[in-house]
Amino acid sequence: MDTTTYDVAVIGGGIAGMATALRLQAKGFSTIVLEAHGQPGGCAGFFKRKGFTFDVGATTLVDFGVTGVGGELFRSTNIPLPEADLLDYKLWLPDKEVTMYHDRTLWEAERLVKFGDTPQHVAFWKFLDHIASVFWNASRNGIKLPIQNIGDIVQAILAIGIQNIFLTRYIHWTFLDALKKFNLHNDVVLRSALGMLVEDTVHSTLDKAPLINAALGITIRGAGIQRAKGGMKGLWDHLIPHYKELGGRLVMGNTVNRVAMSDPIFYLHGSKGIFQAKKVVSAVSAEITYRLAPDGIRKRLESYVKRDRTSLGSAIVVFLGVPEEEVCYQSITHHQLLQDYEKPFGNGNNMFISVSSAGDHKSAPSGYRAVMLSTHCAIHEWEGLTDEAYKKKKNAIGDHLLNLARRVYPDLGKNAVIYEVGTPRTYHKYTGRPQGAVGGVRQTFENSNFNALPHNIGTRNFWLAGDSTWPGLGTVACILGSRIVADQVASR
């Protein structure tokens, strides 16, 4: 048993957990991060094969500019930003290609050319840009949901700005409502493209996604998307040494299986011993927190966990290590593909391709590139399979995604030195998340914003962080949440 009593113990070394610990350590608190895997990262993690490094979930850094959400984290903890490439991004629709430029002027021109320049289109984009701008700024200014006290109300008003309070009338609008407002809901091309981006960022559909959340997700490219040199491993190789230099402790390969409390101390029982702390931040999913927490905390979490079980989804990923010549003729390295306007999203119809940059030898050996193909899927499709049926299904979906990706890279995978497929069963094995659910809940009015799982569930000295809580999934959301949690921990 470690006899040190830390000020704060953080369960989970993903982006939310490490960002929270980093902030607190920089504020002068003694912190320890307990991570089950042999490396940090969680759903923004990585694995290595034969000199290649592959991202297992998130592949990009969002809003990591100097003034952005990621930039604020590094600036406030006095850490330089990681070396990264700023990305453009291409949508491949059934009948056209659309480049989502990070340059705002170029993107504004592109979307009118490719989606239409009628007065309705122009008005729609102006409306969407305004909604996104106001609430991006509110997020950066520390807005917190759900509202739990009068202080949260005041902070929300200050973050949004008095001049923008009228926009709160759209709080109960879906994204589909916004399309209907401009009579664009029957525009199949526009609706499909936006639907892809909404599924990718808030894991929801146009008719269920809250307008504000979806608007932020769709405009996320304008906030700046980057890929760190070396992918997510490059990010962690940059961040972890700085955390340790500040005095933080990271214990990897340590699965926390029980948290006990003998007031005022928490005891975290893990595979590498028992650790003591005055305060705890659980940065693993709500379901996992529910399993390991004391009875009082379990009781407060129970209704949220039950509610959100029907809103979970998973993913399929193909990991490829390929010769440079199979991908070198596309200057853009990140693509999103839609195959059929009429078919539902998932299982390849809405697929993401991420390719490591030329010269990024942290991601792949010289002369090679690391490639990741990913798509969303329903959990139930992978349940109850025999080993033989599972293997057959896994091989079939891997081949299917690879064949679809050859629309962008015709020779992709023909001479691959690495070919592996990850499924919900894979995610369940390596993350412990129920049924292999990844990426937070599908955001709807029932589980986000005013109904989101709060960071503070009313238990003294215990907080939640990560994609189960507000503002939800993605690296940028987890970093925003870490700021809220760290401020709350520091003030108590």
Q: 51 in a domain, yes or no? A: no
Confidence of residue 492 (pLDDT cuts 50, 70, 90): confident
Run of H or E including 86: strand 84-86
Q: Are residues 461 and 420 in the same domain?
A: no
Q: Are residues 117 and 264 in the same domain?
A: no
- Segment 231-248 shows an average pLDDT of 96
Q: 50 in a domain, yes or no? A: no
Which pLDDT does position 221 carry in this prediction? 67
Q: Is a pLDDT exceeding 70 seen at residue 223?
A: no
Q: 99 in a domain, yes or no? A: no
Which pLDDT does position 154 carry in this prediction? 93
- Segment 164-181 shows an average pLDDT of 95
Helix axes 15-26, 69-76, angle to 10 degrees: 40
User: Which residues fall within 8 angstroms of residue 159, CB to CB, at 6 or more apart?
Assistant: 137, 138, 139, 141, 142, 143
Buried b (16+ CB within 10 A) or exposed e, 204-228: bbbebbbbbbbbbbbbbbbbbbbbb
Q: Are residues 157 and 306 in the same domain?
A: no
Which pLDDT does position 140 carry in this prediction? 86
- CATH code of the domain containing 377: 3.30.519
DSSP annotation of 469 = B
- CATH code of the domain containing 20: 3.50.50.60
pTM to 2 decimal places? 0.96
- Segment 311-337 shows an average pLDDT of 95
Q: 89 in a domain, yes or no? A: no
Average pLDDT value over all residues in the chain? 94
Residues 243-286 have pLDDT tens digits of: 999 999 999 999 999 999 998 999 999 999 999 999 999 999 99
Which pLDDT does position 67 carry in this prediction? 81
Assigned token pair, 239: 């961040």
Q: Is a pLDDT exceeding 90 seen at residue 391?
A: yes
Q: Is a pLDDT exceeding 80 seen at residue 50?
A: yes
**In the block, residue with structure tokens 């995610």:** 427
Q: Is a pLDDT exceeding 80 seen at residue 366?
A: yes
Which pLDDT does position 23 carry in this prediction? 98
Phi, psi of 381 (to 5 degrees): -65, -20
How many distinct structural domains can be found in the chain? 3
Q: 269 in a domain, yes or no? A: yes
Using a pLDDT cut of 90, give the percent of the chain over it: 86
Q: Which of 25-29, 40-44, 390-394 has the lowest mean pLDDT?
A: 40-44
Of the candidates 20, 465, 471, the residue with the CA atom closest to the CA atom of residue 239: 20
